[in-house]
Amino acid sequence: MQTCRPHSRRPLRLATFAIAAGLLCGLQGVPSTAAAQQRDPTRTIGETVADRVSRHYTFERFEVASADGTRTWRVHVARPKAPAPAAGYPAFWMLDGNAALIEFDEALLAELAARPVPHALVFVGYPNALRIDSEARTRDYTPFAGERPQRDGTTVSGGGGADALLEVIERQIRPELEQRVTTDPTQQTLWGHSLAGLFALHTLYTRSGAFDTYAAGSPSLWWGDGALLGAPEQRFVANNAGRPARVLIGLGEGERQVAHRDLSDPRVQVHLRRIEAAPPDSAEKLAQRLSAVDGLQVSYREFPRLTHGPMFRASLMWALHMVTGIADHSDTPSRAEGVEPVR
């Protein structure tokens, strides 16, 4: 397993996490600026690269709906203007597609397009202007039911729609995508952050061959009382049978720490109770276990001082770097600086 901790010569480690009498002992010195700000569920995406003419990519979008018409997804596709290889373009898929669009600008598109074989970009989002659609993503990205903390300190049960979304991806989104851009079925990456990172791991476990690279940024391993760390992982390890895949797992050093949190906030208190099911070294230990599975190439990276919100961009930029070969922009600021996605 590859592990890395940039800008540091110290051994890789995760910050100590302890819960006692409802209090969390956390890393000192985590920045309390942008990452500490309250999440805004009404934040909209504004104008993005998909709304402007690019010299390097052509953007299209389409929508697909569930069979009963109650759920709809909006997909933005960015096709390189360079000629397609004989096998088609490699494809880089992003969940939370609305928010992911914010992280791209023309300079990044130019860098991606300049690669010897540029990637097609696929943004799977929702048909609204919200940066993060918390209700929809909780429904779609979770493989089993669980509880989600609310802003008033209560919880709401829900989720369990991951398999339904996987069916939509395979049976509706992929065929529609291929009408617009030919992609190489052997070079497909799926990236997601938080609950979407959980979805990426669930896809690895249950849809062998759907993608060849699975990138999970700050995966919400606590969801469903840590259920993904139990039987689903064990079944995958027992049955993978050497099938090749690449796995990227990233986590911010400052995640699940309280130096930047208001412990009097009922929502924070509820969330801290939820994450007790997944200790802070869960992601690193998961990467270690997966690295022992025949056929898997696993890389784990800890991002110094970053908390959950900034990890959205950091993990996306790291995955783009690892998969496409562009420079690593994981330490550059987000256009959505100061807003954390709802977990």
Partners of 130 in beta bridges: 44
Q: What is the pLDDT of residue 343?
A: 45
Q: What is the pLDDT of residue 187?
A: 98
Q: What is the pLDDT of residue 125?
A: 98
Grouping H, G, I as helix, E, B as strand and the rest as coil, residue 330 is coil
Q: What is the pLDDT of residue 326?
A: 98
User: 95-142, pLDDT tens digit by residue?
Assistant: 999 999 999 999 999 999 999 999 999 999 999 999 999 999 999 999
List of domains in the chain: 2-8+52-324 (3.40.50.1820)
| Higher-pLDDT residue of 27, 233 | 233
Whether the predicted pLDDT of 274 surpasses 60 = yes
* Confidence band for 341, pLDDT divided at 50, 70 and 90: very low
Distance CA 331, CA 140 (A): 29
The C-alpha R_g of the chain, in whole angstroms, comes to 19
Average pLDDT, integer, range 298-316:
96
Q: What is the pLDDT of residue 33?
A: 33
Whether the predicted pLDDT of 260 surpasses 70 = no
Q: What is the pLDDT of residue 241?
A: 84
Q: Which stretches of the chain are DSSP H helices?
A: 97-102, 106-113, 134-141, 162-168, 174-178, 195-206, 223-226, 231-239, 266-274, 282-291, 311-324
**What is the percent of the chain with per-residue pLDDT over 90, rounded to a whole number?**
70
Q: Choose the weakest-confidence range: 115-119, 211-215, 233-237, 263-267.
A: 263-267
- Catalytically active residues are 194, 255, 308
Q: What is the pLDDT of residue 199?
A: 98
User: 77-87, pLDDT tens digit by residue?
Assistant: 999 999 999 99
